[in-house]
A and B are shown apart, each in its own frame.
Chain A
Amino acid sequence: MESSAKNKELYQDMVKKASPNSHIFKNCIKAFVVGGIICCIGQFITNYLKELGLTQNDTGIYTSSVLIFIAALMTGLGLYGKLGKFAGAGSIVPITGFSNSVASPAIEFKKEGFVTGLGAKIFIVAGPVILYGILTSVIVGIIYYFLK
């Protein structure tokens, strides 16, 4: 049982053989269906708002907000976690997944206080998304300014 470099390498192979892989095909079907349904709900809200006569821009904002509200509510009820277990990326990738990633730490860490718990940890998952999203947008903006 020497943990030499060679044995470590051999062990990595053993681990790979002993570890079951995820059922990727089944997971993809579930992700496809749930992700597709969430987008259809978004489409339904969009179409409905358009009929009410909202502008293109406002429609987008309202659609996102409604989806974000539904996901935050489902997170509070403990339903979004269950959906995520079933759907994987199907419920992570839509904007509802972003909402879930903000609401779940907010709820989980409120016991540690409204400032040091909820306040400090609310972006524990979504913080990097905002950081790198905004950074990328700044770079895009600068490049656009010089190239246009």
Chain B
Amino acid sequence: MDYLYAFLVGGGICVIGQILIDKTKMTSARILVLFVVVGCILGGLGIYQPLVDFAGAGATVPLPGFGNTLAKGVMYEVDQNGLIGALTGGFKASAAGITSAIVFAFLAALVFNPKEK
């Protein structure tokens, strides 16, 4: 059952992105920004976590899930360390994601050359 929910919710979030691309001519960069920011706000409001509990990877793999991770991280750090947590929580929570993206992108750039379409 968890695969079905992951598929439906994950696919559904992507459809929202697709409608935005086709209807508003937003570029992919803007979509990425919008989804992370919205995910972070929803996470802060405590609305996104129930979706994660329900759909698992269907809610964590799309970028709003990344935003939710930021919100969760920052609230956790504020709980632990007070106001200073607002400055440290975001990067702590997203450290693994951003660092793996940098590392694997760098390695890919070492190995591969640009390809024509």
Chain A residues at the B interface, C-beta cutoff of 8 Å: 21-22, 24, 27-28, 31-40, 42-47, 60-61, 63-65, 67-69, 72-73, 75-78, 81, 84-85, 87-90, 92-99, 101-103, 106-108, 110-111, 118, 122, 125-126, 128-130, 132-134, 136-138, 140-145, 148
The residues of A that contact B6 with a CB separation of less than 8 Å are 36, 39-40, 42-43
Whole-angstrom distance between the alpha carbons of A102 and B100 in the complex? 10
Complex CA–CA separation, A134 to B89 (angstroms): 9
B residues sitting closer than 8 Å to A (CB atoms) are 2-3, 6-23, 28-29, 31-33, 35-37, 40-41, 43-44, 55-58, 60-63, 65-67, 69-71, 73-75, 77-79, 82-83, 85-87, 89-91, 93-94, 96-98, 100-102, 104-109, 111-115, 117
Cβ contacts under 8 Å, A61 to chain B: 96-97
* Residues on B with beta carbons closer than 8 Å to the beta carbon of A47: 2
B57 near A88: Cβ-Cβ < 8 Å: no
**Which 8 A-B pairs give the minimum distances between C-beta atoms?**
A39-B10, A35-B14, A141-B86, A36-B11, A89-B17, A137-B90, A42-B57, A76-B112
A103 in contact with B17 given A33-B11, A138-B74 (CB within 8 Å): no
